Amino acid sequence: MTNSINEIDKSEVIFIIGSNTTENHPVIGSRIRRAIKQNGAKLIVADPRNIDIANDAEVFMQIKPGTNIALLNSMMNVIIEEKLYDKEYVDTKTEDFEKLVETVSNYSAKVGAKICGVDAEDIKRASKLYAKANVASLFYAMGITQHTSGTYNVMAIANLAMLCGNVGKEGGGVNPLRGQNNVQGACDMGALPNVYPGYQKVVLPEVKEKFEKAWNTKLDNKVGLSIPKILDKAISGDLKMLYIFGENPMVSDPDTKHIEKALKNLEFIVSQDIFLNETGELADVVLPAACFAEKEGTFTNTERRVQRVRKAVEAPGKAKPDWVILSELMSKLGYDCSYNSASNIFDEMASLTPSYAGISYKRLENNQGLQWPCPSEDHPGTKYLHKDKFARGLGIFKPSEYITADELPDEEFPLIMTTGRILYQYHTMTMSGRVEGLNKQAPESYIEISSKTAKILRVINGEMVRVTSRRGTIETRVKVTEIVEEGVVFMPFHYANGANVITNPATDPLSGISEVKVCAVKIEKIA
Amino acid sequence: MEKIIIIINGKEAQVDKNFTILQAAKSLGIEVPTICNDNRLVPHGACRMCVVEVKNARALLTACTTPVAEGMEINTHSERVINSRKTTLELMIANHPLDCLTCSKAGNCKLQDYCFEYDVTGEKFSGFDKDDLPIDDSNDFYTFDPNKCILCGKCVKVCDELQCTSAIGFSGRGFSTHVSHPFEAGMDYSTCVSCGNCVSVCPVGALMPKEKTKFREWEVKKTQTTCSYCGVGCQIELKVKNNKVVGVDPAMGPSNDGLLCVKGKFGYKFINHPDRLKIPLIKKDGVFNEATWDEAYDLIASKINEIKKEHGSDSIAGLSSARATNEDNYLMQKMMRAVIGTNNIDHCARL
Amino acid sequence: MTIFRSHVLMCSGTGCVSSNADQILARFKEKIKEVGLEKEVQVIKTGCFGLCESGPNVLIYPEGSFYSHMSVDKVDEVVDEHLLKGRIVKKYLYKESIDKDLIKSVDEINFYKKQKRVALKNCGIIDPENINEYIAMNGYMALGKALTEMNPDEVIQLIKDSGLRGRGGGGFPTGVKWSFAARNKADQKYMICNADEGDPGAFMDRSVLEGDPHTVIEAMAIAGYAIGATKGFVYVRAEYPIAVNRLEIAINQAKEKGLLGKNIFNSGFDFDLEIRLGAGAFVCGEETSLIASIEGHRGMSRCKPPFPANQGLWTRPTIINNVETLANITQIVLNGSKWFRSFGTENSPGTKVFALGGKINNTGLVEIPMGTTLREVIYDIGGGCPNGKEFKAVQTGGPSGGCITKENIDIPIDFDTLTSIGSMMGSGGMIVMDEDNCMVDIARFFLDFTVDESCGKCTPCRDGTKKMHEILDNITSGKGINGDIEKLLDLAYTIKDSALCGLGQTAPNPVISTIRYFRDEYEAHINEKRCPAGVCKPLLSYYITDNCIGCTKCARNCPVNCISGEVKKKHVIDTNACIKCGSCITDCPVNAIIKR
């Protein structure tokens, strides 16, 4: 997030696109509702499903899956046409505005409405609402990113926010909501093939040199493999070994068959986890890890806030904190690794990561956390980014063109399936699946279909059906609900042998993200 | 902030002009008892525990709702005030089971604490009518015992003003007033999303989490940490008895303001789950066998060295975890890069 | 315009309507047509005359003949005799209209003689469903005057000068209240009329709305102009269907005539009015609960401050005035503050409407100048207690007030005097009690009401009144113990001191005042297990005196067969088996059965 969670209270207009906030980030969802109820903030929601928070919206647009850019461009078209954009901001703080104007000129409200399957009037109303607010914030989640056009979707969002002067402003911003507790931190820590901690590029010689010196070793200067490529290389046989730590790709990643094939083709797999999950079953060695309650450390939340994780109980049996396992293994491998606490590791990381440089366990003791960038010990942390000017100087408009999803419905697979999270489960259920109450609330996978679709398929609520895509077939239970429109179906992705057996692994070439939000399926009644 | 002068318990003091009497008293280190007050909520003034005497006011005033004024003369603990609080407590306890011996809330109950402080025994109105209402345990995560409810209204207000779900409200009038939900079919049939924020604010034992392990508040050790579910970063307190997490309370973190969702509040039972991995496992002929750490490390190290030698560093890849700590992730990528010698490190940020 | 020689006024207040006023009215019209008088005699449906005890009531002018206890079958005779032949039908006249051979006109009847009608000026005179009749009585002149000749400050100053105090019970100076809202700046302000009349036995607000709805509408527009509110709500009980219906008609008529809506009297002032129905919760008469209810929330009181004049409906400055308060406004604007001050007392100018009920001959609605004594109200206007029973006390202020005994009967009534003797003005309910009323039972009755009507929010009111009620229940059922009176008083004073809103703070008043004046009755119940008034059943036993003639009727009719005795000999009641149903008393031809 460019901005902070508590700034929601200052937003006049809140635009949620591609995020089922009340189910997936409930505490933020409540905060948004509170802003509506108590401060009179107005809400715009765009989503393929009529999600709960859409009830609170001034304007709700039920867009077809994969049409985000068309909608956003169309909104910008209206805003530019009606001269509602923040001219001074655009003039002084951004560049390439004319490129944006040129691109979005092809997306009138009428054009956008047709692509997205919504009312042109709603697009106009939403555009005016967003543009006329003194300060408006934008929230999005995987509904924006998990597309082959994911990166362009994000750019379109950034364009809209910049156009109305909402970046670098308290209560505004472009705010991705991170689905997992430390996905922000894992990225910040350089658990990515192209960057070291703090997004320092592996290809830059000076960066490489810095880390070589600090780590006292030689480092490679080429970008590594991302998950989809790792899987491909496993299948091709170029990759021999995979060290999987706290992950369960057998459930979380699209096209399960493809993953299974890849993993089975490997020579050696290590799985380090708190439970023996579907992926662990395929491993050669399984290492028992301590969970969050059994170790010291830090998480970085969706608003860039670094907060402490503290040990409350002893790990079961011989399980050990991950950092202990990793440092012991590194020592075994002949690399001198003598950390005596998590705090030691943090300090080393902070010394190499400018945006974390001013953060230390001592400063985190007060339980208020610190938001990066926090470059020095006397820096209070950064509530919102791009204040006064953009990090790169001028904000650059990078117009995006609407491109269709990789897989569109056709005669054989007539329905669009989209996927997502639900309130009572978490990720691949390694944790939530072992909590009795949560499991009772959401015991099994299902597929949401509209009553019209149900009528066409001649199925009723609760009936088992067969769902097939180009990648496979699963059986699941029907949930007839008007949350989805005719022709669109939804499945939660948490369940093994569920949605991800059939989702599309096609990826966004820029970010490597898979298009799990759109694939074409058919549903058949089980006779 | 502009300051004004008030006279509180006979002493002159300077306080913020916008304060309520309660805030003013707090800023001066004077404790005024409250049950229904919560800084995050619109003051409710229902429990009447915080009444104070203000000179020239006809009746006692609730400190939580009354703003201070220049020259206001306040007495927070006069005889009149104490008597009123005592009667209020007597009335509350008169319609409350006296089962502190078996109530799990004992030790963490405001009613119990204040009755102790104000020497209220419950004898004054013993023998009077008490509620006898069925306990609602339809929700999977908490129970609601209306007989223990003192109608402070915090649950209803938290659900309405902070959680904004408005699943619960009040039904009935007068003595029959009770916390309820549409059609009174059971909490589980309401719009409740089981966030448990009502449970967290309940000052008595009316709303209680379902937890099989019995514990007393004074037996548990509390540790503040960060929730391990979604990316909001809610601050929580883990309650631990005998090395077992037996409950979660929300903490006033900057991202969550004392609120949680169902997973944060009630989703902790995986920690002590019997399925947890407790010992390293090595697969032999398709079957996992228990091993020592050294055996596991030796096997992994030899495999790494062997594959590296034969196929190069880039034939090895690592998947790190968006659920592990920064420190864990840092070390994981460092191991891949500095020890194994490859940038083949990624994690599930895209999922 | 047609000139009629005679007018037949049919009281169509709720009381008379419930006794067939509509049918009587219809028959009058029919009959008059039958005899061909429709061009000479006009039949008019009016609001309440006030003397409900004698309803259905009909007045015929120009004679001022007051026909009471009318029924459909009497109509033809009245038309034939009175209207056709000019002979007043004496036998149907109200009993006090006939003084020996003299027939008194309505104004000379005791019940009306001492009254001064300001708020009820038009009630019983005009057709409430016809705006033209209201206009003919100078209606909407006050609004015109305020909008065209006065600025808002002048209106407020006028009301301040008049000394008008809130008639809903609090007695707060109305002009001062208006000035609070007037000086607050806001994007929207609201004017609310509180017509959620809930005191048991009170019906003055209902009568005003039924008899003269336009006066309330006009006053609200004036108030709106004074405080800067363009939107008004009348919050009225759904249990008042006639009032609601007439109010709806009146609002629509006023809108049609441009007396509500945009740019009224070309002054640039807009005022819109809506009705909101209450669901019968007493607490919604309390202003913060009323606001909560209009907002769509459960009717629960909110703490003051903030006061509604600063943060009321939807947190905007809001003035809430009671119906009767508003019914005085137009008269003050038209006649001036001096005129208004010519009635009543220095600190309580003007008049007050009371609803007389209970053990009194002339139950009904009376409007008297402040300062009139209770004696005048009860004896001169009310005609004293029925059946020659002795007056014991009168409860003013309903469940929030207290009782006033004989010793204070000569106190002139105003806001301050009533408070000083432990009662209050309240909204104007006046329930008279005679020697047959048990004061402990009366206190229990009122507590029963508040226990039911407490909103349940604050502890003292919700739980405290319940405990008081339980103690009173014990006392009246013979289970009272030493210390109960002290416990009651202790609770009463704590509740008064610590309850959230006016409902709770005043709920203990009936108990406090009955203990103050009738402690001996409490003591008799507790110590001697005796109810001096013979009301509290569990404390009574039935006995047969020597007057018994042995007719066996009581024994034959006793539902539990607890009376025994031989024919023509004195019977005996087995008091242990007796269920105190009282059927024997009713059956006994010689009044030989007594309770004690």
pLDDT tens, residue by residue, B254-279: 999 999 999 999 999 999 999 999 99
Q: How confident is the model at residue B338 (pLDDT cuts 50, 70, 90)?
A: very high
Residue A480 has pLDDT above 70, yes or no: yes
C453 in contact with B at a CB cutoff of 8 Å?
Answer: yes
Distance spanning both ends of chain B, measured CA to CA: 47
- Max intra-chain CA distance, chain C: 89
Chain centre distance of CA A370: 22
CATH-assigned architecture of domain A183-371: 3-Layer(aba) Sandwich (3.40)
- Work out the average pLDDT over A410-438: 92
Q: Order of strands across the sheet with B244-250?
A: B221-226, B235-241, B244-250
* pLDDT beyond 80 at C331: yes
Does B59 contact chain C (CB < 8 Å)?
A: yes
Q: What is the gyration radius of the CA atoms in chain B, in angstroms?
A: 27
| Span A5-177 CATH architecture | 3-Layer(aba) Sandwich (3.40)
Flag whether pLDDT at C495 surpasses 80.
Answer: yes
Q: Specify burial of residue C100 (Cβ count, 10 A radius: 0-12, 13-18, 19+).
A: exposed
CATH of region B218-276: 2.20.25.90
SS3 A273: strand
pLDDT in tens, C235-266: 999 999 999 999 999 999 999 999 999 999 99
Q: State whether residue C492 sits within 8 Å of chain B by CB.
A: no
Number of Cβ within 10 Å of residue C310's Cβ equals 17
Distances (CA, A) of C235 to B265, C232, C429: 43, 10, 20
Which of these, A514, A490, A432, A518, lies nearest to A259 by C-alpha position?
A: A514
- Residue of chain B minimizing CA distance to C448: B174
Domain ranges of chain A: 5-177, 183-371, 415-525
Residue A295: how many CB atoms within 10 A of its CB? 25
A-to-B residue pairs, Cβ atoms closer than 8 angstroms: 476
Tokens read off for A52 = 């709960």
Residue with tokens 């209606």: C139
Q: What's residue A220's pLDDT?
A: 93
pLDDT digits (tens, 9 = 90+) for B302-321: 999 999 999 999 999 999 99
**B175, B176, B178, best to mutate vs chain C, most C CBs in 10 Å:** B175
Q: Residue C29: enclosing H or E segment and its boundaries? A: helix C21-34
Tell me which residue in B238, B307, B337 faces A268 most closely, judged by beta carbons. B307
Burial, C461: exposed, middle or buried (Cβ in 10 Å; 0-12, 13-18, 19+)? buried
Looking at the complex, report in whole angstroms how far the Cα of residue C281 sits from the nearest Cα belonging to chain B: 9
Bigger pLDDT: B185 vs C507: C507
Residue B172 contacts C, CB cutoff 8 Å: yes
Nearest CA-CA distance, residue A313 and chain B, Å: 5
User: What pLDDT does C88 receive?
Assistant: 92
Q: What's the burial of C528, exposed, middle or buried (CB within 10 Å: 0-12/13-18/19+)?
A: exposed
pLDDT digits (tens, 9 = 90+) for B78-111: 999 999 999 999 999 999 999 999 999 999 999 9
How many helices (H) and strands (E) chain A has is answered by 19, 21
Give the span between the Cα atoms of B321 and A428, in whole angstroms. 13
E strand residue ranges, C255-301: 261-264, 269-278
Residue B314 carries which side chain, given as an amino acid letter?
A: D
Q: Summarize pLDDT for A227-286 with one digit per residue, the tens.
A: 989 999 999 999 999 999 998 888 888 888 899 999 999 999 999 999 999 999 999 999
How high is the mean pLDDT of chain C?
93
Residues of B in contact with C467 (CB under 8 A): 91, 94, 125, 128
DSSP C40-99: TEEEEEES--S-GGG-S-EEEETTTEEE-S--HHHHHHHIIIIIIH----GGGB-GGGEE
State residue C39 phi and psi, 5-degree precision.
-90, -10
**Best of B79, B86, B88, B118 to mutate (most C CBs within 10 Å, chain C):** B88
A-proximal residues of B, 40-99, CB under 8 Å: none
Instruction: From the options 3.30.1360.120, 3.30.160.100, 3.90.1150.10, 3.40.50.11540, give the CATH code of C131-340.
Output: 3.40.50.11540
Q: Which residues pair with C572 in a beta bridge?
A: C564
Output the CATH code of domain B131-210. 3.30.70.20
> C-alpha A334: how far from its chain's center?
37
Q: Are β-strands A285-288 and B281-284 bridged in parallel, bridged antiparallel, or unpaired?
A: antiparallel
Tell me: the pLDDT tens digits for C31-54? 999 999 999 999 999 999 999 999
Tell me the fold of A415-525. Barwin-like endoglucanases (2.40.40)
Alpha carbon distance C265, A400 (integer Å) = 59
Give B14: exposed, middle or buried? Use CB within 10 Å, 0-12, 13-18, 19+. exposed
- Token digits of residue C219: 């006053």
For C57-90, the pLDDT digits (tens) are 999 999 889 999 999 999 999 999 999 999 999 9
Q: How far apart are CA C581 and CA A139, in angstroms?
A: 74
Assigned CATH for C439-527: 1.20.1440.230
* Residue A428 confidence class, pLDDT cut points 50, 70, 90: confident
Contact C456 B48 (CB under 8 A): no
Q: Work out whether strand B51-54 and strand B73-75 pair parallel, antiparallel, or are unpaired.
A: antiparallel
C-alpha–C-alpha distance, residues A196 and A120, integer Å: 45
Instruction: State how far Cα A159 lies from the chain centre.
Output: 19
Length of chain B: 351
pLDDT in tens, B60-69: 999 999 999 9
B212: Cβ–Cβ under 8 A, 6 or more apart, which residues?
none
Give partners of A (≥3 CB pairs < 8 A).
B
* A357-366, B311-320, C121-130, C540-549: range with lowest mean pLDDT: C540-549
The CATH number of the domain covering residues in B3-77: 3.10.20.740
Rounded to two decimals, the ipTM of the complex is 0.94
Determine if the pTM surpasses 0.90: yes
Statement: residue C1 has pLDDT above 70 = no
Residue C341 to chain B, least CA–CA distance (Å): 29
Examine the pLDDT at C394 and tell me if it is beyond 90.
Answer: yes
User: d(Cα C501, Cα C460) in Å, to the nearest integer?
Assistant: 11
Q: What is the mean pLDDT of residues C589-595?
A: 89
| Residue that has been written with the tokens 């607000």 in this structure | C205
With CA atoms as reference, the chain B residue closest to C280 would be: B173
The owner of tokens 């207290």 is: C402
Q: Which CATH class is domain C541-595?
A: alpha beta
State residue C540's pLDDT score. 86
- How distant, in Å, are the alpha carbons of A191, A406, A493, C40, C380 from that of A516? 22, 10, 9, 89, 90
Tell me, what's the pLDDT at B157?
96
* DSSP code for A64: P
Cα–Cα–Cα angle for C393, C397, C399, rounded to 5 degrees: 90
Q: Are A505 and A228 in contact (CB under 8 A)?
A: yes
Question: What whole-number percentage of chain C has pLDDT above 70?
Answer: 100
> What amino acid is encoded at B148 in this protein?
K
Stated as kind and residue range, the H or E segment containing B297 is helix B293-311
Q: Give the tens place of pLDDT for each residue, C443-457.
A: 999 999 999 999 999
Burial degree of B137 (CB within 10 A; 0-12, 13-18, 19+): middle
Residue A506 at interface with chain B, using a CB cutoff of 8 Å: no
Average pLDDT over residues C2-17: 92
Euclidean distance between CA atoms A254 and A257, whole angstroms: 9
Tell me the pLDDT tens digit for each residue of B126-170: 888 888 999 999 999 999 999 999 999 999 999 999 999 999 999
Nearest to A148 by CA among A506, A485, A519: A506
Superfamily designation of domain C6-109: Glutaredoxin (3.40.30.10)
**Region at C238 (left for phi over 0; alpha for psi -120 to 50; beta for the rest):** alpha
- Bridge partner residues of A98 (DSSP): none
C584 has pLDDT over 70: yes
Give B127 to chain C, closest Cα distance, Å.
10
pLDDT band at A491 (very low <50, low <70, confident <90, very high): very high
DSSP 3-state of A38: helix
Environment class of C339 (CB within 10 Å of its CB; exposed 0-12, middle 13-18, buried 19+): middle
Q: Does B48 touch chain C (CB under 8 A)?
A: yes
CATH class of C351-434: alpha beta
Give the pLDDT confidence score for residue A390 in this predicted structure: 86
Q: For residue range C257-290, what is the model confidence (pLDDT) as tens digits?
A: 999 999 999 999 999 999 999 998 999 999 999 9
Average pLDDT over residues C527-533: 93
pLDDT at position C99 = 81
Q: What is residue A119's three-state secondary structure?
A: coil
Report pLDDT for B10.
Answer: 95
Q: What is the pLDDT of residue C551?
A: 92
Nearest partner of B113 among B150, B146, B59, judged by Cα: B150
The answer, for B290 touching chain A at a CB cutoff of 8 Å, is no
Q: Using CB atoms, which residue from B245, B270, B326 is nearest to A300?
A: B326
- Strand boundaries in B169-217, DSSP class E: 169-171, 178-180, 207-209
Question: Position of tokens 């509530």?
Answer: A383
A contacts of B328 (beta carbons < 8 Å): 245-246, 297, 321-323, 326
Query: B350 pLDDT band (50/70/90 cuts)?
Result: confident
C281 to chain B: which residues are within 8 Å by CB? Answer: 173
Write out the residue limits of the CATH 3.10.20.740 domain(s) in chain B: 3-77
Average pLDDT, integer, range C355-371: 94
Q: Give CATH 3.30.70.20 domain extents, chain B.
A: 131-210
Q: Which residues, other chains included, contact B306 with Cβ-Cβ below 8 Å and sequence gap of 6+?
A: none
**Structure tokens that stand for B199 in this block:** 């449970």
